[in-house]
Structure 1
Amino acid sequence: MDFDIVLVIALVIAVVVFLQLRSVLGKRTGFERPPFDPYSRQPENAEEKENDTVVALPKPEAKAADDFSDIDKIAPEDSDLNKGLRAIRKEDATFSPNSFLDGARVAYEMVVTAFAKADKNTLKSLLSDDVFAGFSSAIDERDKKGETVKFTFVGIDKIEIIDASCEADIAQLTIRVESEIISATYDDSQKLVDGDPQTIAEIKDIWTFARNVKSRDPNWKIIGTEDGE
């Protein structure tokens, strides 16, 4: 039987390549992208490169056991808020109130924008099950009515931690947010039914975040939202 030497060589090369790929596939290289954690990064700088490449910032370094200087700058030393923040720091030496607020800014914008756009996937990643159920139900009701929302997030005027606690390994932080948005809701005939597309609305919210400080998951979940008026 005659053999085509070119075909034989091609088959040998294919087998070698396959074996090499097989030895590599499934191995972790250490460069896999971690789950998105908005609380570990700061807001994007307005002077970022035009390609919008985001460089992840390192997590805060662990503080000395008796170093509460950053906390004392946020809340009076003998206040309940200061005691709550210290309690979290004692359980998680890398906890930084300022870094948390930087991440909370990002999370807040993501949530209000995702709600307007009916982006349930983003909401589910940031909200507790109970809070997500409420947001999801409101989105479904809006869809059932055939309503659409045109939304622009203008910015956050003020954000601050107003309460903190750590009990049974669960850290909780409550923040007050004052933001500005432009929101207009239209029915299925494109008639304006809520909001104003030409007016910036001032919004005040109080949100509570929680995290198990013993968990390897660094993400905080939003476990409560209420009107801050």
Structure 2
Amino acid sequence: MYVIVILAMIAGFLAMRLYSVLGKRTGHEQEPAPRPADERAKVTVLQPRPTTEATGDSVRLAEGLITPAAENGVRALIAADRTFDVPQFVDGAKGAYRMVLEAFWRGDREELAWLCDDDVRASFEEAIAAREADGHSLENRLVRIEKAQIVEASLNGRIAEVALRFEADIAAITRDRDGNVVAGSMTDAVGTNDIWTFTREIRSADPNWKLSETDEA
């Protein structure tokens, strides 16, 4: 059963963490203490649990977690990888959403490199560099994730892609180098709607899924 791994996430496996990849968002959660690289290496972004196999019923029973348009794609993933479990994948994706956001907000390039593919990482790093050049810092907080739902899934050869729609409330503040508030407010959360796509090579020994695309819903 896949668990979108990235630190110590969701109830038993990871505690996860974009302003919008290129200014598409304005949300945000308080920065947790960074973990050493060797400790983070012990976790995986989407980690299958080999002891249990999912079945087609996983799709039928995952009410509200999959849109009708994504059902066939999810069934194809389950047929190709019997450890793929919809509820656990969605839980893991929520953790990853939080983790990526928090890494971006605090400018943690190393963690973003671990969680994202090269294109998404490069976009984040460009935005971080621009922010730093302006002398700005983010004081953001992810208030809550209202909803996470698989809206598209596909298997292209060995490459599996799963896109999820996230509806979340984010509070954000931008400060200048002197600590003055440039924009935002921690008392007013902003609703965000995003679609993030995660990718993994099904037969890879690496169980991690990486963020490969972000967009506004």
**What interval of TM-score do these two structures reach, taking the shorter chain for normalisation?**
0.7 to 0.9
Q: How does 1:28-39 map to 2 (within 5 A)?
A: 38=5
Distance, in Å, in 1 between the alignment partners of 2:120 and 2:187 is 30
**Equivalent residue pairs, number:** 180
CA apart distance, 1:102: 1.0
Distance, in Å, in 1 between the alignment partners of 2:184 and 2:7 is 34
Does the 8 Å CA contact 1:89/1:95 hold for their aligned counterparts? yes
Q: Which amino acid aligns with 2:160?
A: A
Does the 8 Å CA contact 1:152/1:182 hold for their aligned counterparts? yes
Report the secondary structure of 2:169's partner residue. strand
Does the 8 Å CA contact 2:115/2:210 hold for their aligned counterparts? yes
Q: How does 1:174-193 map to 2 (within 5 A)?
A: 174-193=163-182
Does the 8 Å CA contact 2:120/2:211 hold for their aligned counterparts? yes
TM superposition score normalised by structure 1: 0.71
Distance, in Å, in 2 between the alignment partners of 1:164 and 1:80 is 9
Give the counterpart of 1:137 among 126, 135, 142.
126
Q: Which residue of 1 aligns with 2:112?
A: 123
Q: State the identity %.
A: 33
Report the secondary structure of 1:197's partner residue. strand
- Displaced runs of 4+ in structure 1, greater than 4 A? 39-42
Distance, in Å, in 2 between the alignment partners of 1:60 and 1:41 is 19
Q: Structure 1 residues 58, 92: closer, same or farther in 2, change over 3 A?
A: closer
Does the 8 Å CA contact 1:39/1:220 hold for their aligned counterparts? no
Whether 1:92 aligns to 2:59 is no
Q: How does 1:36-75 map to 2 (within 5 A)?
A: 38=5, 43-44=10-11, 59=49, 61-63=51-53, 67-74=55-62
Q: Which residue of 1 aligns with 2:207?
A: 218
Report the secondary structure of 1:81's partner residue. helix
Does the 8 Å CA contact 1:205/1:226 hold for their aligned counterparts? yes
Distance, in Å, in 2 between the alignment partners of 1:128 and 1:170 is 13
What 5-or-longer segments of structure 1 have no aligned partner?
A: 1-35, 46-55
Q: Which residue of 1 aligns with 2:32?
A: none
What 5-or-longer segments of structure 2 have no aligned partner?
A: 13-42
TM superposition score normalised by structure 2: 0.75
Distance, in Å, in 2 between the alignment partners of 1:225 and 1:120 is 17
Distance, in Å, in 2 between the alignment partners of 1:110 and 1:70 is 26
Give the counterpart of 1:207 among 171, 196, 203.
196
Q: Which amino acid aligns with 2:93?
A: A
* Structure index of larger Rg: 1
CA apart distance, 1:44: 3.0
Whether 1:112 aligns to 2:79 is no
CA apart distance, 1:188: 2.3
Q: Which amino acid aligns with 2:60?
A: D
Q: Which residue of 2 aligns with 1:26?
A: none
Q: Deviations over 1:183-212 (max 9, x none)?
A: 100122333222212211211111000100
Q: Structure 1 residues 199, 177: closer, same or farther in 2, change over 3 A?
A: same
